[in-house]
Amino acid sequence: MDYHTPSTINEAINLAANAPGSTRFLAGGTDVLVQLRADIFTPDTLIDVKHINGVHDITQNRDGSWRIGIAVTGAEMSEHPSLSEAWPGVVEAMDLVGSTQIQGRATLTGNLCNGSPAADSVPAMIAAGMTATITGPDGSRELAIENIPTGPGKTCLAKGEMITSLTIPARGRHGGDAYLRFIPRTEMDIAVVGVAVNLQLDGDEISQARVALGAVAPTALLVPEAANAIIGTTLDEAALEALANAASAACKPIDDKRGTIKFRTHVAGVLAKRVARLAYTRAKG
């Protein structure tokens, strides 16, 4: 395995595009090293992106949106005062990934590129309407997060392409987001179900909403039916019930060691209600 520490995006892309054999980008390494150690995957070329200028920065743009560098760790997000205030759901979802130690290394971009359907941050990013800038030998493109994972362990990135930054939209007024997951313990587990809700209020009424589910399908899902169930409501019991039903209906889970189809489908509805209430409370301020 060759190990490189490029100092620019171009250098990193050139390495990735031209290296023979398999390549992997290294940010926090909390998935890459596990796969290396467990003999699941050892790339021929490993490209450490942490030496590239600006990758550690969280910056707020003039329009209120945020740019998250690809090597920003979960701990750095949690410690950022105004980001946590604006997007608590995204920050908490990232914070749920692994232990304190993992938080010292793990990144949003890595969580996304690892391609796990159970990645905690991905539903939160989708609900928040986040986008990624993808750069390759042929230039850059901007993609919504929900369009990046294509299946377990897979993304739409081509050889030589890398995510070069993530963007969170401006929070806007009267908005709130939240993410909850179900795990058997209190910490350290992979999500059995994850649900994120992001909504905007007009008075007491929900004017816009996005609902995303994790760990219930081959990729994290954006579920417009679930959002539609609460848009135009004050999140009354009927709306919550409709939301739960829509969330459960969207599930296409599997039976595995972490949960059953029946359990995941049911709990997706339960969590959707809890998360929506939390997001609504946050939006109300």
Q: Which of 133, 145, 155 is nearest to 212 (CA)?
A: 145
Q: Which region among 98-106, 130-138, 209-217, 225-233 touches other proteins (by CB under 8 A)?
A: 98-106
String of contacts with other proteins for each residue 265-284, x by CB under 8 A: -xx--x--------------
| Interaction of residue 62 with other proteins, rule CB under 8 A | no
- Cβ within 8 Å of residue 139, ≥6 positions away: none
Nearest C-alpha neighbor of 27 from the set 12, 14, 17, 37: 12
CB of residue 41 to other proteins, shortest distance in Å: 12
Backbone φ/ψ region at 21: left (φ over 0), alpha (ψ -120 to 50), beta: left
Task: Say how many C-beta atoms besides its own lie within 10 A of residue 285's C-beta.
Answer: 9
Both tokens of 96, joined, read 């749920």
Could you tell me which stretch among 13-21, 41-49, 138-146, 212-220 binds other proteins (CB under 8 A)? 41-49
Binding span for other proteins by CB under 8 A among 11-19, 158-166, 223-231, 256-264: 256-264
- Which CB, 73 or 165, lies closer to other proteins? 73
Query: In this chain, which of 46, 124, 246, 283 binds other proteins, going by CB under 8 A?
Result: 46
For the packed helices 121-128 and 88-95, what is the interaxial angle rounded to 10 degrees? 170
Nearer to other proteins, 29 or 175 (CB): 29
Q: Among 256, 271, 279, 144, which residue's Cα sits nearest to residue 190?
A: 256
Among 187, 203, 237, 285, binds other proteins (CB under 8 A): 187
Burial class (CB in 10 A: 0-12, 13-18, 19+), 182: buried
Q: Which residues bind other proteins (CB under 8 A)?
A: 1-3, 5, 26, 29-30, 33-34, 36-39, 42, 46, 48, 50, 73, 75, 98-102, 104-105, 182, 184-190, 192, 257-260, 262-263, 266-267, 270
